């Protein structure tokens, strides 16, 4: 069985940046396993602009953003395999993958970085009533048909969910000559980035129905109509508020779910809220030597943040391989009132250099509040915030001094000002 | 001129076609849809019931018990999965105990293996049973199958042995001549000495093409379901039923042969024979009902909902008989639950009790055995690589959730009763049946179908002729 120092599962934005993170720390025996026909992951089908403002200080299309990283991988002669899907992974870091050129191959890794990304939540998962005809897709699948395969999926479209892919696809379908009759969002606020609401809906006069959902899909063979209803505060449809749209296509942009089937097979502990692995300050999971970053860990808003996080995970994996990660006591990061989750979930201060970035999301839209950070239940500090939204990932930097002497936990909560 | 023409390629038609293919005779199997097993056979509880439940003296009781006996060998011959994983019928209330005892005695009188077990024993064997369960009837001969796999394999086997399958042929008229029938479909005309009506919810309409007499009516009775993701540790080991009511066997929770979990069905008479939609009240009802018998149900792992129509007959029993008024026309109608469990026995009954009185069956000298589907995911390392050596397509992964390779898909397209549609591919080797519901693999499956069937991707169907997926090419 061939052994590699570092195997990275997934050659998308997380996998590529983590490879560079490890490479920059002197790790050379790296293998990236990518299941698609090219590196770059979902970026390859995101042909719209808006990527790279943080990472490269310029605005790029998805494939161009990917190319910058692919060039680094190629120029540094980091090994990768395409059409290579990992079929099994165990907690002793044995991996089985399959490619047409080699067949089924078993390898051993000294360290693994999980970078499998996420999948879209489906119509089935949210159990929307009605028929199950042709014309129902998740927005990303429609995007793949359109941008990668060169086919249009419909002429009259309704979109459920105001996630960014749905918004981007609303504009994209219009540019291809389709009609987009509306976007319904079950929450009282949009889940997409404000800039996408502006550029993809408002600029094209596409109505956004907040606190609305699809309550029925009609059409035995092909979608013919959707019934859209307003929902109450418990998200139950309100009778008498039904609107009907004659469409041939419904796209779903109702959330992304980290793709952790392999992680679960390797007995990596999964966080119930993020549905990604529980990681520490070094992005190490509950299994020794298995790291996670990018959308497999928690769903990000911007690829730039994925790259930043993944480079750090790659750096940490390199430190692990060089025996520089110190064992030691960890304490927990706890999401309290109004906070959905915090990554990392655990901290071993021995491995924090000067400071640590905590990423978190709030559970609902709030204005003029304070974030209260507590150490072992005692207020460390409060930070005033004018506006916080679940659609936007927040960042909190804790200095080593902040973390010093913490015994049990660091917590974040939203408090009144 | 065919000796036999079967209308409808659901589980009943499939079984009869296969059994007829063992004998020297010519058989046409005519189906309105673009695939076999496309209606009720693909949307039911997938349980091979023990036979404890149907009313004493009914055809249902007799054929269910016999069908259960036949299933194991049938599935071995067809090389499809069958698991006798058993079931519990559970009582959650003192008032239900008499009914539990009644079912126990009924099972006993039919020589069905059974026992009544304590709540403690039941919980030991099924830890997720509701705390309110007070006793259970254990019926270990109950089994599970993939109903469409059984039906598809049966039709494939039948076609390998001479049966001719005509898909996309909706029967529009049937004319009785002196010694044969003329059956016209939307595509062609077929002549046959015997017609066997296995048309499911449409069986009454089909009969009324040849007779004005309202011999029976079929009312669709819809059942809706939730399908949950594959479980790494089984949520239930066996099927769990509540105490039955006059509406049916109640909302069950079952592990499927593919290790998913199904919750359902409800029972609702509907008028339209195409009402295979899901409705909010029914889904809400199921969510509520399942908690009567179980706890810790992972409802956050729902990946799909579906619904199917039971062809409920006006006589409340299976209607399996030669028409008195139209000789050589055989109705196999009202095959609602336990239709799947009874299917091999229904076919046996049709051949032995009805046709053999009028037709001399001569066994064929030899038979072609069916080659099982290739399922890479179940092979060991060396078997997989031996296959890849022959064809690297078996190492080109198409479906990440169910681990399906391109080779497996190509294989099931180029078989008798092969897949012609995206749904047909999903039904056979499962790309699209997993948690992403085809989100990642569907474009690849469309491309493979187009290449193998020598069609444009624009002409690839999800299912029916009007279910094209793609509407045009993008702007250059």
pLDDT in tens, A232-246: 999 999 999 999 999
Query: Using the beta-carbon criterion (under 8 Å), do B393 and A100 form an inter-chain contact?
Result: yes
Query: Using the beta-carbon criterion (under 8 Å), do B396 and A237 form an inter-chain contact?
Result: no
Task: Please say whether the beta carbons of B50 and B141 come within 8 A.
Answer: yes
A243 and A261: one domain? no
B157 and B285: one domain? no
Q: Is B183 helix (H, G, I), strand (E, B) or coil?
A: strand
B240 and B351: one domain? no
B282 and B418: one domain? no
Q: Sort out which chain B residues have CB atoms less than 8 A from A259's CB and list them.
A: 400
Q: What is the Cβ-side half-sphere exposure of residue A89, based on CA atoms within 13 angstroms?
A: 26
Number of domains in chain B: 3
pLDDT at A83 (0 to 100): 97
Distance (Å, rounded) from C-alpha B290 to C-alpha A127?
16
H or E stretch covering B137: strand B135-139
Number of domains in chain A: 3
Distance (Å, rounded) from C-alpha A154 to C-alpha A170?
12
Confidence of residue A375 (pLDDT cuts 50, 70, 90): very high
B225 and B188: one domain? no
Q: Which positions 228-267 of B are in contact with A (Cβ < 8 Å)? A: 232
Tell me which residue in A129, A148, A221 faces B280 most closely, judged by beta carbons: A129
Q: Is B460 helix (H, G, I), strand (E, B) or coil?
A: coil
A388 and A333: one domain? yes
B424 and B283: one domain? no
- Our CA angle for A173, A179, A185, nearest 5°, is 80
Residue B51 lies in a domain: no
Whether A63 and chain B come into contact, CB under 8 Å, resolves to no
Confidence of residue A192 (pLDDT cuts 50, 70, 90): confident
Q: How far is CA A367 from CA A341, A346, A388, A391, in A?
A: 19, 29, 6, 14
Q: Which letter does DSSP use for residue B245 in this model?
A: B
User: How far apart are the CA of B462 and the nearest CA of chain A, in angstroms?
Assistant: 6
Q: Is the peptide bond before B338 cis (omega within 30 degrees of 0)?
A: yes
Task: Please say whether the beta carbons of B252 and B312 come within 8 A.
Answer: no
A61 and A180: one domain? no
Q: Sort out which chain A residues have CB atoms less than 8 A from B306's CB and list them.
A: 132
Question: Which residue of chain A has the CA closest to B227?
Answer: A124
Whether A269 and chain B come into contact, CB under 8 Å, resolves to no
Distance (Å, rounded) from C-alpha A245 to C-alpha A226?
5
- Our CA angle for A54, A57, A60, nearest 5°, is 90
Query: Using the beta-carbon criterion (under 8 Å), do A141 and B392 form an inter-chain contact?
Result: no
B383 and B428: one domain? yes
A304 and A219: one domain? no
Interface test with B, best of A47, A96, A104, A175 (most B CBs within 10 A): A104
Q: Which positions 215-234 of A are in contact with B (Cβ < 8 Å)? A: 215-216, 220-222
CATH number of the domain that residue B421 is part of = 1.10.10
Q: A135: alpha, beta or left, given left = phi > 0 and alpha = psi -120 to 50?
A: left
Confidence of residue A386 (pLDDT cuts 50, 70, 90): very high
CATH number of the domain that residue A12 is part of = 3.50.50.60
Query: Using the beta-carbon criterion (under 8 Å), do A124 and B388 form an inter-chain contact?
Result: no
Output the pTM of the full model: 0.96
Q: Is the peptide bond before A344 cis (omega within 30 degrees of 0)?
A: yes
Q: How far is CA A194 from CA A189, A199, A200, A272, A302, in A?
A: 11, 9, 10, 28, 13
A4 and A28: one domain? yes
B9 token code pair: 């390629």
User: How far apart are the CA of B474 and the nearest CA of chain A, in angstroms?
Assistant: 5
Q: How far is CA A190 from CA A45, A165, A196, A238, A253, in A?
A: 23, 13, 10, 20, 12
Q: Is the peptide bond before B406 cis (omega within 30 degrees of 0)?
A: no
Q: Which residues of chain B have pLDDT under 70?
A: 476
CATH number of the domain that residue B209 is part of = 3.50.50.60
Confidence of residue A377 (pLDDT cuts 50, 70, 90): very high
Q: What is the pLDDT of residues A317-340, one digit of tens each?
A: 999 999 999 988 999 999 999 999
Q: Is B218 helix (H, G, I), strand (E, B) or coil?
A: strand
Q: How far is CA B213 from CA A131, A273, A377, B176, B207, in A?
A: 34, 62, 82, 15, 9
Query: Using the beta-carbon criterion (under 8 Å), do B439 and A151 form an inter-chain contact?
Result: no
Q: Is there a catalytic annotation at residue B123?
A: no
B258 and B389: one domain? no
Distance (Å, rounded) from C-alpha B466 to C-alpha A214?
23
Q: Which positions 83-102 of A are in contact with B (Cβ < 8 Å)? A: 83, 85, 87, 96, 98-102
Distance (Å, rounded) from C-alpha A139 to C-alpha B309?
31
A303 and A317: one domain? yes
A222 and A292: one domain? no
Query: Using the beta-carbon criterion (under 8 Å), do A104 and B393 form an inter-chain contact?
Result: no
Tell me which residue in B392, B437, B473 faces A100 most closely, judged by beta carbons: B392
Tell me which residue in A124, A151, A237 faces B474 most closely, judged by beta carbons: A151
Residue B73 lies in a domain: no
Confidence of residue A209 (pLDDT cuts 50, 70, 90): very high
Residue B70 lies in a domain: no
Question: What average pLDDT does the structure give for chain A?
Answer: 96
pLDDT at A193 (0 to 100): 84
Q: Which positions 19-38 of B are in contact with A (Cβ < 8 Å)? A: none
Whether A103 and chain B come into contact, CB under 8 Å, resolves to yes
Task: Please state whether beta strands B261-264 and B218-228 pair in parallel, antiparallel, or not at all (unpaired).
Answer: antiparallel
B134 and B243: one domain? yes
Distance (Å, rounded) from C-alpha B364 to C-alpha A396?
78
Interface test with A, best of B379, B400, B459 (most A CBs within 10 A): B400
Quote the distance between the C-alpha of residue A300 and its chain's center.
4
A133 and A176: one domain? yes
Residue B153 lies in a domain: yes
Whether A155 and chain B come into contact, CB under 8 Å, resolves to yes
Three-state secondary structure of chain A: CEEEEEEEECCCHHHHHHHHHHHHCCCCCEEEECCCCCCCHHHHHCCCCCECCCCCCCCECHHHHHHHHHHHHHHCCCEEECCCEEEEECCCCEEEEEECCCEEEEEEEEEEEECCCEEECCCCCCCCCECCCECEEEHHHHHHHHHHHCEECCCEEEEECCCHHHHHHHHHHHHCCCEEEEEEECCCCCCCCHHHHHHHHHHHCCCEEECEEEEEEECCCECCEEEEEEECCCCCECCCCCEEECCCEEEECCCEEECCHHHHHCCCCECCCCCCECCCCCCECCCCCEEECHHHCCCCCCHHHHHHHHHHHHHHHHHHHCCCCCCCCCEEEEECCCEEEEECCEECHHHCCCEEEEEEEECCCEEEEEEEEEECCEEEEEEEEEEECCCCCEEEEEEHHHHCCCCCEEEEEEEEC
Nearest to A147 by CA among A120, A167, A175: A175
Confidence of residue A379 (pLDDT cuts 50, 70, 90): very high
Q: Which letter does DSSP use for residue B93 in this model?
A: S
Whether B57 and chain A come into contact, CB under 8 Å, resolves to no
A134 and A208: one domain? yes
Whether B140 and chain A come into contact, CB under 8 Å, resolves to no
B31 and B153: one domain? yes
CATH number of the domain that residue B126 is part of = 3.30.9.10
Whether B386 and chain A come into contact, CB under 8 Å, resolves to no
pLDDT at A417 (0 to 100): 83
Residue B369 lies in a domain: no
Task: Please say whether the beta carbons of B166 and B185 come within 8 A.
Answer: yes
B223 token code pair: 């059942």
* Of A254, A274, A293, the domain-final residue: A254
Length of chain B: 476
| pLDDT at position A97 over 70 | yes
* Of A235, A254, A273, the domain-final residue: A254
B380 and B443: one domain? yes
Whether B458 and chain A come into contact, CB under 8 Å, resolves to yes
* Secondary structure E strands in B203-260: 218-228, 239-241, 252-255
Q: Sort out which chain B residues have CB atoms less than 8 A from A174's CB and list them.
A: none
B226 and B211: one domain? no
pLDDT over 70, % of chain A: 100
A208 token code pair: 């956004």
Residue B74 lies in a domain: no
Residue B95 lies in a domain: yes
Task: Please say whether the beta carbons of B167 and B275 come within 8 A.
Answer: no
pLDDT at A278 (0 to 100): 98
Whether A238 and chain B come into contact, CB under 8 Å, resolves to no
A138 and A284: one domain? no
A127 and A241: one domain? yes
A207: containing domain: 122-254
pLDDT at A194 (0 to 100): 86
Burial of residue A81 (CB within 10 Å: 0-12, 13-18, 19+) is: middle
pLDDT at B476 (0 to 100): 65
B169: containing domain: 2-41+147-217+315-357
Query: Using the beta-carbon criterion (under 8 Å), do B396 and A35 form an inter-chain contact?
Result: no
* Of A206, A238, A254, the domain-final residue: A254
B301 and B334: one domain? no
Q: Which positions 14-53 of A are in contact with B (Cβ < 8 Å)? A: 35
Q: Which positions 264-323 of B are in contact with A (Cβ < 8 Å)? A: 274, 276-280, 283, 302-306
A264 and A231: one domain? no
């Amino acid at each position: 069985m061939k052994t590699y120092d570092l195997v990275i599962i997934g050659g998308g934005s997380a996998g590529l940046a983590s490879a560079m993170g490890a490479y920059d720390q002197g790790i050379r025996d790296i293998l990236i396993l990518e299941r698609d026909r090219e590196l770059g992951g979902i970026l390859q089908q995101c042909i719209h602009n808006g990527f790279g403002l943080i990472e490269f200080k310029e605005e790029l299309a998805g494939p161009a953003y990917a190319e910058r990283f692919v060039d680094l991988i190629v120029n540094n002669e980091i090994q990768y395999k395409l059409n290579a899907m990992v079929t099994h992974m165990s907690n002793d870091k044995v991996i089985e993958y399959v490619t047409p050129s080699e067949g089924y191959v078993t390898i051993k890794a000294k360290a693994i970085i999980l970078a499998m990304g996420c999948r879209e939540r489906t119509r089935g998962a949210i159990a929307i009533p009605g028929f199950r005809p042709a014309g129902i897709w998740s927005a990303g699948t429609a995007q793949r048909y359109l941008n990668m395969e060169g086919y249009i999926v419909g002429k009259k479209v309704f979109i459920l969910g105001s996630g960014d892919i749905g918004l981007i696809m609303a504009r994209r379908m219009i540019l291809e000559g389709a009609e987009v009759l509306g976007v319904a969002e079950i929450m009282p606020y949009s889940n997409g980035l404000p800039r996408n609401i502006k550029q993809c809906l408002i600029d094209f006069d596409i109505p956004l129905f907040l606190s609305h959902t699809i309550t029925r899909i009609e059409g035995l063979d092909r979608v013919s109509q959707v019934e859209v209803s307003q929902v109450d505060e418990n998200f139950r449809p309100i009778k008498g508020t039904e609107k009907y749209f004659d469409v041939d296509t419904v796209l779903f942009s109702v959330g992304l779910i980290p793709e952790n089937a392999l992680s679960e097979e390797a007995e990596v502990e999964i966080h119930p809220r993020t549905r990604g692995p529980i990681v520490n300050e070094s992005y190490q999971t509950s299994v020794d030597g298995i790291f996670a970053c990018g959308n497999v860990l928690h769903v990000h808003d911007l690829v730039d943040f994925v790259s930043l996080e993944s480079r750090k995970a790659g750096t940490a994996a390199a430190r692990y391989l060089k025996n520089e990660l110190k064992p030691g006591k960890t304490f927990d990061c706890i999401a309290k009132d109004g906070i959905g989750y915090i990554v990392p979930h655990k901290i071993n201060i021995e491995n924090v250099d000067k400071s640590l970035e905590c990423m978190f999301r709030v559970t609902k839209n709030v204005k003029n509040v304070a974030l209260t950070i507590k150490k072992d239940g005692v207020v460390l500090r409060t930070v005033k915030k004018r506006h916080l939204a679940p659609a936007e990932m927040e960042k909190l930097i804790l200095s080593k001094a902040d973390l010093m002497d913490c015994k049990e936990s660091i917590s974040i909560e939203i408090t009144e000002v | 001129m065919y000796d036999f023409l079967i209308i409808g390629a659901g589980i009943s038609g499939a079984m009869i076609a296969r059994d007829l293919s063992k004998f020297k005779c010519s058989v046409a199997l005519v189906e309105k849809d673009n695939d076999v097993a496309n209606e009720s056979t693909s949307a039911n509880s997938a349980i091979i019931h023990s036979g404890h439940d149907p009313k004493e003296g009914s055809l249902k009781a007799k054929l269910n018990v016999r069908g259960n006996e036949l299933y194991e060998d049938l599935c071995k011959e067809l090389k499809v999965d069958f698991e006798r994983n058993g079931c519990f019928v559970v009582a959650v209330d003192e008032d239900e105990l008499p009914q539990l005892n009644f079912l126990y005695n009924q099972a006993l009188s039919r020589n069905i293996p059974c026992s009544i077990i304590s709540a403690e024993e039941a919980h030991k064997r099924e830890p997720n049973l509701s705390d309110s369960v007070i006793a259970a009837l254990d019926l270990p001969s109950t089994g599970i199958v993939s109903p469409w796999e059984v039906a598809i394999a049966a039709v494939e086997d039948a076609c390998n042995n001479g049966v001719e399958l005509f898909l996309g042929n909706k029967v529009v008229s049937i004319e009785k001549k002196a010694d044969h029938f003329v059956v016209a479909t939307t595509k062609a005309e077929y002549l046959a000495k015997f017609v066997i009506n296995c048309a499911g919810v449409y069986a009454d309409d089909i009969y009324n093409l040849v007779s004005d007499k309202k011999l029976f009516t079929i009312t669709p009775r819809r059942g809706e379901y939730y399908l949950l993701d594959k479980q790494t540790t089984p949520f239930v080991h066996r099927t769990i039923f509540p105490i039955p009511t006059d509406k049916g066997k109640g909302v069950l929770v079952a592990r499927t042969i593919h290790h998913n979990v199904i919750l359902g069905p409800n029972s609702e008479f509907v008028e339209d024979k195409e009402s295979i939609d899901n409705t909010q009240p029914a889904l809400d009802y199921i969510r509520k009902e399942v908690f009567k018998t179980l706890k810790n149900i992972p409802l956050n792992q729902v990946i799909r909902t579906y619904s199917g129509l039971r062809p409920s007959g006006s006589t409340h029993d299976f209607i399996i008989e030669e028409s008195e008024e139209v000789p050589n026309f055989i109705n196999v109608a009202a095959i609602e639950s336990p239709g799947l469990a009874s299917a091999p026995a229904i076919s046996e009954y049709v051949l032995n009790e009805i046709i053999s009185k009028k037709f001399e069956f001569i066994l064929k000298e030899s038979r072609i055995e069916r080659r099982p589907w290739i399922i890479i995911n179940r092979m060991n390392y060396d078997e997989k690589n031996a296959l890849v050596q022959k064809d690297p397509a078996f190492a080109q992964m198409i479906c990440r959730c169910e681990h399906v390779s391109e080779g497996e898909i190509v294989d099931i397209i180029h078989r008798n009763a092969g897949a012609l549609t995206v749904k047909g591919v999903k039904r056979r080797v499962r790309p699209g049946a997993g948690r992403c519901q085809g989100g990642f693999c569907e474009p690849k499956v469309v491309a493979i179908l187009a290449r193998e069937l020598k069609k444009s991707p624009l002409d690839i169907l999800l299912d029916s002729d009007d279910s094209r997926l793609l509407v045009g090419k993008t702007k250059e």
